[in-house]
Structure 1
C-alpha cells in the first residue's frame, strides 16, 4: 500500500471508531437524564458538564490505546465510573485490549469495568425497582463479554491477515529467487551453446589462418585449400550460430531444429581431418543413447578437438567412445604434443568450465590433465540409463 495512503486510512478508521464510541455513550447519558426528570430529580451541573467532560477525556485517551494499551484501558475503565456517557469509550477500550488476546490484561480491565459499574449506580439518585440488583451485575458482565468476544475475533483476524501477508511476501521472494535462478541457468545454457558452436569453428579458422601466415612456402593450390577452408568454416559458424538463435527465438509451437548427437561425431572427426588435423576415431558404443546424452557426448568431443587444435597444432588426436545402455558412456580425447609452430588463437578460458557444468548436469564426471608425453587427456564418464527400465519405472 502507498505510504501516503496508509496514514490517511488509519486516521479515518480512528475517527470512525471514536465517533461510534461517542454515539454509544450519548443515548446512555440521555436515558439517565430522562430517568432523573421522570423521578422528579433535577439534573445537576455534574450531569450537564462534568459527565460529558469525563467522557471526552476518555475518548481523547483512546487515541493512545495502541501505544499504551493496558494503561489506557484501565484508566478509561476506572474513569467511566463517574460518567454514564463514557460507556461507549470503555466498551471500545475493552474491544481494543481484547485484540491482544492476553487473558490477564483482559481480566483486569473487565474486573475494573464491572466493579466501577456497581459504584456508578449511586452516582445519580435514580431509584431501581426492588430485586433488580442482579441486573446491575449481569448487564455490565454481558456488555463486557460481548466487547471481549468482538475484540478477540478482531485480534484473530488481524493475526490471520498478518500471516497471509507474510506468506504472500515469502512467496513473492521465493518466486523472484526462482525467476532469477531460472534466468541465470538460461544465461549459462545460452553461453555454453554459443561457446560450443563458435569456439570449435573459429579455432579451426584461426589455425588455418595461422598456417597461411607462418608458411611462406605453400603452393598456390595449398593456399587455395586453406582459404577455402577458412571461408567454409566461417560460413558454417554463422549457420550454426543462426540455428542457436533460432532455437532461442522460435515460437512455442514450432519444432526445434535437430541438435547434434552421437551419430554426428564421425562427421566431426572427418571435418577436422579435412582441415589438416590428424584424428583417429575408435567407437565401441552399443545401443542408441538419448538425445541429451548424445548431445553432451558430441560437445565433449567438439571441445577436445577445439583445444587440441588451439594448444597443440599438428598433434595426433585419438578419440575413443565406448559404452552400453544401462551402464556408462565413456568419452576420451587424447592428443600428443603439438608439432606446428604457429601462434595459438586467443583462449576464452570458459570451454572446460562450461563443459564441466554440462557434464555435471548430466550426472557424469569430467577429468582433464596433461600426460607424461607432454600431451593432454580429456575424459568423461556419463551415466547411460536403459530406456526400457525408465519406461517400466
Structure 2
C-alpha cells in the first residue's frame, strides 16, 4: 500500500484545520532542496534581478541622481536579490526587512515581490503575515514619496505598487490553497486505501470465523459419535458381537455423514455455483431426525416441543436452534454418556423461540474425550449474531444445561 511521505503527514482534527505544508515547518529537520526547488529559486532570483535592473535603469535617468546613491542602490539591490535564496527558511523575517528597505531603495522591489509571494505560499494567513502584507501596501504608497519615479506621477506609482503587492500576495495564497487541496486529497486517498484494507481484512476475518463455526457445528456431532463408539470398542473388547456390529455400523454411518458434510462445506468454499446440488440446510423441522439419530447411537433423548408447526419458524431461526441442540447433544454424549438428555423447544411468533437442553450428572466414570471447548463459545456467538442470547452452566444436581433464546418475528 502506498503511503504519504513525511511532507504529507499532518493531522486533520476538523474541517477547519488546514494541513501543514513542507515550508510550514521550522528549520530543524528541514528537507534537502530538490531539483525543482533549485529551479524555482533560480527563476525567482532572476525575476528579482530583472525587476531590480529595470528599476535601477529608470532611476538612473533622473537628473538629480548622484553617483554615490547609484552605487549604494546597486549594492543594496544585489544583496536583496541574494536574500531570495533564503526565502524558504525565513520568509517572515526576510519580507519584514525588505518592506522597510524598499521604501528607501526601489531597486529591491523585485526581491520584495518574490519575498511576499514566498511568504503567502509558505506561511498560513496569521496576524504576523497580515501585518507584513499591510505594511507592504503602506510601503508601496510611501516609496514614490521618498524616491519619486521621474517617468510617472506619484499617484500612478502608488496605485501600481499597491496593485502589485496585492496581486503577488493573492497569487501566493492561491498557490498555498491549491497545495493544501492536493495534500488533503492525497491524505484522503491514503486513508481511503487503509480503510478499504481494514474493511477487507475484517470481512475475511468474519468469513473465516463463520466457516470455522459452521465446520465445528457440522463435524463435531459426527466425529463425537466416532470417538465415543470407537472408545467403547477399545474399552470393551469382549462385548457381544451384536453390540460390536451395532457400534461399527454407527461408526460407518457417522463417517459417511461427516464426509458428506465436509464435501458440502468445501463445495461452498470453492464456488457458489456448486451449492445447487448440496443437501438442504437443517431447520427446526429436522430436529426430530437429529433426536432419532442420537437415539440410534445409544443416547437417551427426550424431545418436548411446544411449537405447533415447525415449518412456520423462520429458516435462519430454525437452523440456529438446530445447531444449538446438536452441539448440546454432542457435549452431553461426550461428558455424560448414558445420562438421559431432555430437549425442550417452546415459543411463538412475537415471543421468540426458546431451546433448552438439560442432562443430569453422569453415572460412573466418564471416559475422557478430547475437546477444544470452542463449541459453546461458537454457540454464544451464533445466538448473539442472530439477535438472541445463550447461557450455559452446571445444575445444582451436578448436571449441565444449555438455554438459548432466539428472536421470532410476528
Same fold (TM over 0.5): yes
In structure 2, the partner of 1:88 is 110
What pairs with 1:238-257 in structure 2 (closer than 5 Å)? Answer: 238-251=259-272, 255=276, 257=278
The runs of 5 or more residues in structure 2 that have no matched partner are: 9-29
1:17 to 1:110, Cα distance in 2 relative to 1, 3 A = farther
The total of aligned residue pairs comes to 380
Equivalent of residue 321 in structure 2, options 291, 294, 297: 297
The runs of 5 or more residues in structure 1 that have no matched partner are: 387-393
Instruction: Give the drift of 1:49.
Output: 5.1
* SS of 1:279 mapped into structure 2: strand
In structure 2, the partner of 1:181 is 202
1:87 to 1:254, Cα distance in 2 relative to 1, 3 A = farther
Q: Which shows bigger deviation, 74-83 or 273-282?
A: 74-83
In structure 2, the partner of 1:390 is none
What pairs with 1:331-342 in structure 2 (closer than 5 Å)? Answer: 331-339=355-363, 341=365
1:294 to 1:300, Cα distance in 2 relative to 1, 3 A = same
In structure 2, the partner of 1:357 is 381
Q: Which shows bigger deviation, 55-64 or 291-300?
A: 55-64
1:239 to 1:43, Cα distance in 2 relative to 1, 3 A = farther
Equivalent of residue 167 in structure 1, options 178, 184, 188: 188
Equivalent of residue 96 in structure 2, options 74, 99, 116: 74
Can you list the C-alpha shifts for 1:84-115, whole angstroms capped at 9, x where unaligned?
Answer: 55433311221232241225423334414642
What pairs with 1:19-168 in structure 2 (closer than 5 Å)? Answer: 19-32=42-55, 34-35=57-58, 46=71, 50-64=75-89, 68-81=90-103, 84=106, 86-99=108-121, 100-112=124-136, 114-115=138-139, 118-119=142-143, 127-128=150-151, 132-168=153-189
Instruction: Give the drift of 1:141.
Output: 0.7
Equivalent of residue 342 in structure 2, options 304, 318, 338: 318
In structure 2, the partner of 1:389 is none
Can you list the C-alpha shifts for 1:43-81, whole angstroms capped at 9, x where unaligned?
Answer: 7762795255223322123141xxx33212212333445
Q: Does 1:263 align with 2:285?
A: yes
Given that 1:368 and 1:377 are in contact with CA atoms closer than 8 Å, whether structure 2 keeps it comes out as yes
Instruction: Give the drift of 1:246.
Output: 1.5
In structure 1, the partner of 2:396 is 372
Can you list the C-alpha shifts for 1:282-307, whole angstroms capped at 9, x where unaligned?
Answer: 22213422221111011111011101
TM-score normalised over the length of structure 1: 0.84
Instruction: Give the drift of 1:216.
Output: 3.6
Can you list the C-alpha shifts for 1:170-221, whole angstroms capped at 9, x where unaligned?
Answer: 4334333323322222222122112112211111111111211222442112
Given that 1:332 and 1:378 are in contact with CA atoms closer than 8 Å, whether structure 2 keeps it comes out as yes
In structure 2, the partner of 1:284 is 306
Given that 1:94 and 1:106 are in contact with CA atoms closer than 8 Å, whether structure 2 keeps it comes out as no
TM-score normalised over the length of structure 2: 0.81
Instruction: Give the drift of 1:245.
Output: 1.8
1:4 to 1:325, Cα distance in 2 relative to 1, 3 A = closer
* SS of 2:332 mapped into structure 1: helix
The CA distance in 1 between the partners of 2:340 and 2:55, in whole Å, is 112
The CA distance in 1 between the partners of 2:97 and 2:384, in whole Å, is 69
In structure 2, the partner of 1:306 is 330
* SS of 1:285 mapped into structure 2: coil
1:119 to 1:39, Cα distance in 2 relative to 1, 3 A = closer
The CA distance in 2 between the partners of 1:144 and 1:36, in whole Å, is 20
What pairs with 1:201-240 in structure 2 (closer than 5 Å)? Answer: 201-240=222-261
* SS of 2:396 mapped into structure 1: coil
In structure 1, the partner of 2:407 is 383
The CA distance in 2 between the partners of 1:79 and 1:220, in whole Å, is 115
The CA distance in 2 between the partners of 1:63 and 1:152, in whole Å, is 15
